């Protein structure tokens, strides 16, 4: 091992550099002041989404969906042109408030749209509440956002964690499962999902015999599979997403558990991961507010439009982004693009009936979609709709005082 | 926990430990022999996994992918040693940490540019796709056992390479006294080039053979990186045997931590590390 | 460089930072405030890395712990008192550092780097996995600390300018304090330990105790930074304690140049500026960030602050001195 020898420099040179850096920063800071006022004719939309890291694919899908609707509307919302301000949130909660401030304070956007990661969305909600910025969440499912943190200026076009998991409870019970084991990562979203499932499942008459968790983002599932095999429950309910979801489903299959103990999950398990799961993913039943193979005309038009614009098939994240733009369009049209009429704008958004590719939905008092939840079955690379298991399911919005 | 479950969990622990060993072995070589802290080691694991995905997509076969991927990984290692790491040997650990930290960002973004950010799967080779029945509900995939066997073979191979061959002797001598080895007319730079390429290849190989069970996804390198470091440090820097023992220790701590103290499973691995280092500040097997 | 020129530069920097809130926009004022906080954070690490020769790879733990203390001391509908919560946060961070230091200082070199990381990871999982601080979603600090003393409020941290100047005063105090500490006999002993610990031992110094004291002081000062960061952004998450943050602060120290705190300040500001510029420029900004880091290590040993000296003396010195 080589020994340690820091390099000491004279204090003078340091101050030279500090001065240079400080001056550069100061100059850079003053520049945007002039720009900010120049383009007041456009509505400024701040997109804060992950473009790097684990959730980059989701961030891009939300962005694509949002822009697709704007393009379909001739590049305008509420009759006014749109100007985008984009920030990569890296799915890093440590930078959440600061990144949000970039859009809210530096760029002074009229509307804030984001994000995927719940922890980051919580930070965004704080800034949006403090500055009374109109805020639309196109993914993050944290129950709090339309619960204790609900506010007139905060809307969500995706789902609450409670919704996607609660709907699964009766489904599992009807499949004649009475004893169920749950497994998820030990973090807030996982707990909200498994709690909501347990709530619905036990209300139906079943029992969750064991709730298992593993540290996030650990993907070594083998010890849990062994425990599940020993416990022999009637079914297993899990919440995983992304790379971890693909690995879990493969491990579950390889351990031979699929044959004897059915696996159920919110749809995030199989969204964007079916290709990676291969055969192990086939036939999985999941619940979500969107599915492949819907027959409504809106979905078909949306899919065709998306495929044409981006040469790719849309997913649930793209739908949520698309609907975020639709919701904004409804509000902005009502005030003819005049964002200063906030009360009317919010009122129009609250009353909106969004003609979404997922099927039409309205908003609850807490501004969360009141939507149908589908049961889907994985076939090939698609999550084919089986049935609507919860018609117009509304999040209970616990803790919301609006 | 009944006895059968205990035995199966032990198997899980050993199997996980062996896979961790495979990743950590390359790190301990680079760490111990060249004295370089390489935070980018997890990135090589990630690169290996993505190589396996890309090559299997092209050739349709994991074995062909391995055959092509291993030389590619070795080449990448040699290139990096020549272009970057060669300049780091005389620097302090701090600068090594920094440079390799920068490399993590570079590799992750290059991966994103080249292959996108989606999750991918790699099929288990058909001849290993069977499972062995352990109980009436639980089976064990043969491929996992194959990985374990490969890990054991590699551990033995590395031991022989370092302790029983001429090049191993030169490597050990170079680790001990670089100047003396140079004075004896051995080209130490060439040895370092070989060791570094070997270390990168081991990490990438681990990623390649793990790809069918772990899937391939952004950020997968970061998950194994910290664990690999924990293993190398517990085992004693530069000791292949130490890494093997430490990897098994971590495999047990993680597996039984999850089963017995699920609420503190995240802490278990680090508690073990702290405890071992307080007991033996230079690892179990000091090299 | 003459002493008067040096003083002139110091004053110029000071004048710039003092004037900034009056000329810069609200956002950039906050950004400079962030730079100042990170400067405190980096300076506290410099006491370990640059002065004492202890490379800690877990310094974010103390930063994060103090931020959580603020969050937990702030009632839901009311502000925490600054004069109570700040000392408590700093004390807790210092005590945690003392406890961790007690164990980790028994190891050396590379092992020290890794054990400090292990303890930081433990702290990370405590906040991430338990309900203590809101778990993985983090926790809000709904109100900025109140500076009231017995009914009299000298300043209001809800005012961005007041908060900015409070942070600036803290940064200056930490800078001044650390400079004095380095010049003190305690500081000389620490530098002696860095240069040759066995010699210090032979001279009869109980080096372990001095290192432990330095470790605790550094932890407490990181706590000052963490507390201010929590107050500035009003949001605390386990990611404040993650190994990436520990890596980032090491990066600031090395980027600036170690050993006399001014470099840490320059490194912190350079780091903030780079993130800002690259992220505004391209989606793949982390590629640029990574490339700059790699380039800086290869071509800039000694950090930014060593640059003028290197340029001046180039002909006689090799690249890897």
pLDDT digits (tens, 9 = 90+) for C16-31: 889 999 988 888 999 9
Q: What mean pLDDT do residues A272-292 have?
A: 94
Locate the chain B residue with the closest alpha carbon to C285: B109
Residue A111, phi then psi, degrees to nearest 5: -135, 140
- What's the confidence (pLDDT) of residue C321? 33
- What's the confidence (pLDDT) of residue C313? 59
**For residue B2, pLDDT beyond 60:** yes
Q: Are C67 and C230 in contact (CB under 8 A)?
A: yes
**For residue C294, pLDDT beyond 70:** yes
- What's the confidence (pLDDT) of residue A30? 45
- Burial group, residue C203, by CB count within 10 angstroms (0-12, 13-18, 19+): exposed
Pairing of strands A353-354, A361-363: antiparallel
Burial C116-135 (b: 16+ CB within 10 A, else e): bbbbbbbbbbbbbbeeebbb
Residues β-bridged to residue A207: A179
Locate the chain C residue with the closest alpha carbon to A23: C16
Rounded-to-integer distance, Cα B213 and Cα A220, Å: 10
Lowest-confidence pick of B275-284, C47-56, C167-176:
B275-284
pLDDT in tens, A160-181: 999 999 999 999 999 999 999 9
Mean pLDDT score across all residues of chain A: 90
Locate the chain A residue with the closest alpha carbon to C262: A14
- Which tokens belong to A120? 């980051």
- Which tokens belong to C77? 């509908």
- What's the confidence (pLDDT) of residue C5? 72
Rounded-to-integer distance, Cα A225 and Cα A240, Å: 15
**For residue C310, pLDDT beyond 80:** no
B112 in C contact zone (CB under 8 Å): yes
**For residue A37, pLDDT beyond 60:** no
Rounded-to-integer distance, Cα C48 and Cα C40, Å: 13
Reported as a pLDDT band with limits 50, 70 and 90, residue C311 is low
- Burial group, residue B254, by CB count within 10 angstroms (0-12, 13-18, 19+): buried
- Which tokens belong to C9? 């530069």
CB neighbourhood size of B164 (10 A): 9
**For residue B177, pLDDT beyond 80:** no
Dihedral in degrees, nearest 10, Cα atoms B84, B89, B92, B95: 10
Q: Are C178 and C113 in contact (CB under 8 A)?
A: no
Given its phi and psi angles, is residue C292 left (phi above 0), alpha (psi -120 to 50 degrees) or beta?
alpha
Cβ contacts (< 8 Å) between C303 and chain A: which residues?
A: 7, 9
Rounded-to-integer distance, Cα B104 and Cα B41, Å: 9
Cβ contacts (< 8 Å) between C273 and chain A: which residues?
A: 21, 24-25, 28
Residue with tokens 């058909």: B126
B12/A222 Cβ within 8 A: yes
Lowest-confidence pick of A116-120, A314-318, B123-127, B146-150:
B123-127
Mean pLDDT score across all residues of chain C: 89
Q: What is the DSSP letter of A117?
A: S
Which of A186, A218, A273 comes nearest B119 by C-beta? A273
Domains of chain C, CATH where assigned = 25-316 (1.10.3470)
C119/B274 Cβ within 8 A: yes
A84 in C contact zone (CB under 8 Å): no
Residue A139, phi then psi, degrees to nearest 5: -155, -65
What is the SS3 assignment for A186? coil
**For residue B111, pLDDT beyond 80:** yes
Which of A 14-53 lie inside 8 A of C, CB atoms? 14-19, 21-26, 28-30, 32-33, 36, 51-52
Q: Angle at the Cα of B152 (from B147 to B154), degrees rounded to 5? A: 90
Rounded-to-integer distance, Cα C190 and Cα C184, Å: 10
- What's the confidence (pLDDT) of residue C320? 39
Residues C149-155: contacts with CB within 8 Å, 24+ apart? Answer: C149/C83
Rounded-to-integer distance, Cα A210 and Cα A183, Å: 9
- What's the confidence (pLDDT) of residue A1? 36
Q: Angle at the Cα of B165 (from B164 to B168), degrees rounded to 5? A: 100
Q: Is the peptide bond before A217 cis (omega within 30 degrees of 0)?
A: yes
Lowest-confidence pick of B167-181, B197-211, B229-243, C209-223:
B167-181
State which H helix or E strand residue A118 sits in. helix A118-131
**Could you tell me the sign of the dihedral formed by the alpha carbons of A21, A24, A27, A29, in that order?**
negative
CB neighbourhood size of C288 (10 A): 18
C-alpha B180 chain-centroid distance: 30
Lowest-confidence pick of A22-26, A235-239, A268-272, B28-32:
A22-26
- What's the confidence (pLDDT) of residue A31? 45
Q: Is the peptide bond before A115 cis (omega within 30 degrees of 0)?
A: yes
Helices and strands counted in chain C (H then E): 13, 2
**For residue B128, pLDDT beyond 60:** yes
Rounded-to-integer distance, Cα B200 and Cα B49, Å: 13
Rounded-to-integer distance, Cα C243 and Cα C249, Å: 10
**For residue A14, pLDDT beyond 70:** no
Instruction: Give Cβ neighbours of residue A343 (< 8 Å, ≥ 6 apart).
Output: none
Which of A212, A223, A246 comes nearest B121 by C-beta? A246
Rounded-to-integer distance, Cα B69 and Cα B54, Å: 10
- What's the confidence (pLDDT) of residue C101? 96
C254/B102 Cβ within 8 A: no
- Burial group, residue A184, by CB count within 10 angstroms (0-12, 13-18, 19+): buried
Reported as a pLDDT band with limits 50, 70 and 90, residue C169 is very high
Cβ contacts (< 8 Å) between C114 and chain B: which residues?
A: 229-230, 233, 273, 277
- What's the confidence (pLDDT) of residue A108? 93
Residue C284, phi then psi, degrees to nearest 5: -95, 40
Q: Over pLDDT 70: what percentage of chain C?
A: 94
B84/C298 Cβ within 8 A: yes
Rounded-to-integer distance, Cα A132 and Cα B20, Å: 49
- Which tokens belong to A126? 């704080």
- Residue closest to A156 by CA, chosen among A341, A4, A363, A358: A363
Q: What is the DSSP letter of A105?
A: I
Residue scoring higher pLDDT (B278 or C84): C84
Q: Angle at the Cα of C60 (from C156 to A53), degrees rounded to 5? A: 105
What is the SS3 assignment for A65? helix
**For residue C276, pLDDT beyond 80:** yes
- What's the confidence (pLDDT) of residue A12? 44
Rounded-to-integer distance, Cα A211 and Cα A237, Å: 10
Reported as a pLDDT band with limits 50, 70 and 90, residue C312 is low
**For residue B178, pLDDT beyond 80:** no
CA distances, B180 to each of A208, B175, B184, B186 (Å): 67, 10, 6, 9
Instruction: Give Cβ neighbours of residue A97 (< 8 Å, ≥ 6 apart).
Output: A123, A124, A126, A127, C233, C234, C235
Residue with tokens 């551990």: B155
Residue scoring higher pLDDT (C229 or C136): C229
Q: Are A269 and A238 in contact (CB under 8 A)?
A: yes
What is the SS3 assignment for A81? strand
Q: Are B153 and B24 in contact (CB under 8 A)?
A: no
- What's the confidence (pLDDT) of residue C12? 87
Instruction: Give Cβ neighbours of residue C206 (< 8 Å, ≥ 6 apart).
Output: none
What is the SS3 assignment for A369? strand
Q: What mean pLDDT do residues A371-388 have?
A: 96
A98/C34 Cβ within 8 A: yes
- Which tokens belong to B201? 């290849």
Q: What mean pLDDT do residues C47-51 have?
A: 95
Residue with tokens 């990661």: A117
- Residue closest to C262 by CA, chosen among A26, A9, B97: A9
Reported as a pLDDT band with limits 50, 70 and 90, residue C120 is very high
Q: Are A345 and A253 in contact (CB under 8 A)?
A: no
- What's the confidence (pLDDT) of residue A20? 52
Cβ contacts (< 8 Å) between C136 and chain A: which residues?
A: 118-119, 187-189, 216
- What's the confidence (pLDDT) of residue A6? 42
Residue with tokens 């406890």: C99
- What's the confidence (pLDDT) of residue B263? 83
C111 in A contact zone (CB under 8 Å): no
Q: Angle at the Cα of B159 (from B154 to B164), degrees rounded to 5? A: 130
- Which tokens belong to C228? 């201010």
- Which tokens belong to A330? 């409804």
Q: Where are the beta strands (DSSP E) in C86-200?
A: 139-140
Q: Are A61 and C253 in contact (CB under 8 A)?
A: no
Q: pTM here?
A: 0.89
Domains of chain A, CATH where assigned = 43-159+294-370 (3.40.50.2300), 163-288 (3.40.50.2300)
């Amino acid at each position: 091992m080589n020994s340690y020898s820091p390099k000491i420099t004279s204090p003078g040179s340091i101050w030279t550099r500090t001065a240079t850096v400080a001056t550069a920063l100061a100059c850079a800071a003053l520049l945007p002041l002039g720009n900010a006022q120049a383009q007041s004719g456009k509505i400024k939309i701040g997109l804060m989404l992950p473009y790097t890291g684990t959730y980059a694919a989701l961030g891009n899908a939300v962005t694509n969906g949002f822009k697709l609707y704007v393009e379909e509307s001739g590049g305008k919302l509420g009759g006014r042109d749109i100007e985008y301000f984009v920030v990569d949130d890296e799915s890093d909660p440590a930078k959440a408030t600061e990144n949000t401030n970039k859009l809210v304070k530096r760029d002074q956007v009229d509307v804030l749209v984001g994000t995927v990661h719940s922890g980051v969305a919580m930070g965004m909600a704080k800034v949006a509440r403090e500055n009374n910025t109109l805020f639309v969440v196109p993914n993050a499912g944290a129950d709090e956002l339309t619960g204790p943190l609900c506010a007139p200026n905060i809307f969500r076009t995706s789902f609450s964690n409670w919704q996607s998991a609660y709907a699964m409870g009766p489904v599992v019970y009807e499949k004649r499962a009475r004893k169920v084991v749950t497994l998820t990562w030990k973090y807030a979203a996982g707990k909200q999902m498994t709690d909501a499932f347990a709530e619905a499942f036990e209300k139906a008459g079943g029992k969750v015999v064991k709730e298992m968790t593993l540290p996030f983002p650990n993907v070594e599932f083998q010890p849990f599979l062994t425990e599940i095999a020993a416990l022999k429950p009637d079914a297993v309910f899990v919440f995983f997403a992304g790379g971890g979801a693909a690995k879990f489903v493969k491990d579950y299959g390889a351990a031979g558990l699929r044959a004897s103990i059915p696996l159920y999950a919110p749809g995030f398990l199989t969204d964007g991961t079916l290709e990676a799961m291969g055969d192990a993913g086939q036939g999985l039943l999941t619940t979500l507010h969107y599915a492949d193979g819907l027959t409504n005309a809106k979905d078909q038009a949306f899919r065709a439009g998306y495929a044409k614009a981006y040469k790719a098939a849309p997913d649930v994240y793209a739908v949520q982004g698309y609907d975020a733009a639709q919701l904004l369009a409804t509000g902005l049209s009502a005030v003819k693009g005049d964002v200063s009429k906030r009360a009317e704008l919010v009122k129009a958004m609250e009353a909106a009936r969004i003609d979404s590719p997922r099927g039409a939905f309205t908003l609850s008092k807490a501004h969360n979609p009141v939507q149908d939840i589908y049961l889907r079955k994985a076939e090939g690379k698609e999550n084919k709709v089986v049935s609507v298991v919860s018609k117009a399911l509304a999040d209970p919005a616990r803790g919301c005082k609006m | 926990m009944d006895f059968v479950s205990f035995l199966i969990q032990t198997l899980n622990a050993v199997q996980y430990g062996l896979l961790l060993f495979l990743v950590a072995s390359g790190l301990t070589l680079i760490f111990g022999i060249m004295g370089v802290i390489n935070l980018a080691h997890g990135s090589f694991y990630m690169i290996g996994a993505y190589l396996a995905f890309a090559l299997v997509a092209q050739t349709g076969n994991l074995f062909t992918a391995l055959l092509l991927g291993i030389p590619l990984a070795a080449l990448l290692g040699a290139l990096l040693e020549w272009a970057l790491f060669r300049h780091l040997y005389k620097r302090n650990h701090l600068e090594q940490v920094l440079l390799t930290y920068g490399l993590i960002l570079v590799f992750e973004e290059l991966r994103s540019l080249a292959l996108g950010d989606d999750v991918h799967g790699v099929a288990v080779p058909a001849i290993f796709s069977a499972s062995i029945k352990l109980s009436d509900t639980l089976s064990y995939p043969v491929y996992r056992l194959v990985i374990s066997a490969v890990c054991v073979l590699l551990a033995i191979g590395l031991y022989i390479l370092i302790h029983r061959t001429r090049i191993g002797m030169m490597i050990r001598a170079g680790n001990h006294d670089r100047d003396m080895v140079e004075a004896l007319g051995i080209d130490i730079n060439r040895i370092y080039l070989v060791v570094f390429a070997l270390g990168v290849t081991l990490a990438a190989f681990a990623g390649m053979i793990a790809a069918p069970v772990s899937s391939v996804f952004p950020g997968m390198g970061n998950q194994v990186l910290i664990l690999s470091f924990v293993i190398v440090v517990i085992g004693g820097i530069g000791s292949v045997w130490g890494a093997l023992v430490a990897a098994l220790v971590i495999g047990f701590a993680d597996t039984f931590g999850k089963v017995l103290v699920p609420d503190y499973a995240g802490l278990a691995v680090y508690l073990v590390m702290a405890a071992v280092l307080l007991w033996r500040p230079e690892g179990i097997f000091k090299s | 460089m003459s002493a008067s020129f040096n003083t002139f530069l110091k004053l110029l920097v000071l004048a710039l930072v003092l004037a900034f809130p009056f000329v810069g926009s609200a956002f950039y004022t906050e950004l400079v405030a962030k730079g100042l906080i990170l400067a405190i954070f980096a300076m506290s690490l410099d006491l370990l890395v640059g002065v004492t020769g202890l490379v800690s790879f877990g310094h974010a733990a103390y930063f994060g712990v103090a931020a959580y203390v603020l969050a937990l001391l702030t009632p839901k509908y009311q502000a925490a008192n600054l004069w109570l919560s700040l000392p408590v946060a700093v004390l807790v961070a210092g005590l945690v550092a003392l406890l961790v230091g007690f164990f980790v200082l028994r190891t050396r070199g590379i092992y020290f780097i890794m054990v400090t990381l292990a303890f930081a990871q433990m702290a990370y999982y405590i906040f991430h996995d338990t309900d203590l601080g809101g778990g993985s979603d983090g926790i809000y600090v709904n109100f900025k600390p109140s500076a009231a003393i017995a009914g009299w409020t000298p300043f209001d941290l809800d005012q961005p300018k007041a908060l900015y100047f409070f942070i600036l005063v803290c940064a200056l105090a930490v800078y001044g304090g650390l400079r004095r500490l380095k010049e003190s006999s305690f500081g000389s002993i620490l530098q002696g330990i860095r240069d040759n610990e066995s010699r210090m031992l032979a001279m009869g110094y109980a080096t372990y105790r001095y290192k432990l004291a330095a470790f605790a002081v550094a932890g407490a000062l990181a706590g000052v930074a963490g507390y201010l960061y929590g107050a500035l952004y009003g949001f605390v998450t386990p990611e404040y304690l993650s190994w990436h943050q520990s890596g980032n602060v090491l990066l600031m120290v090395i980027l600036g140049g170690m050993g006399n705190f001014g470099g840490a300040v320059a490194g912190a500001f350079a780091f903030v500026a780079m993130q800002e510029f690259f992220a505004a420029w391209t989606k793949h900004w982390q590629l640029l960030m990574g490339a700059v880091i790699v380039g800086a290590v290869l071509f800039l040993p000694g950090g930014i602050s060593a640059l003028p000296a290197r340029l001046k003396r180039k002909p006689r010195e090799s690249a890897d001195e």
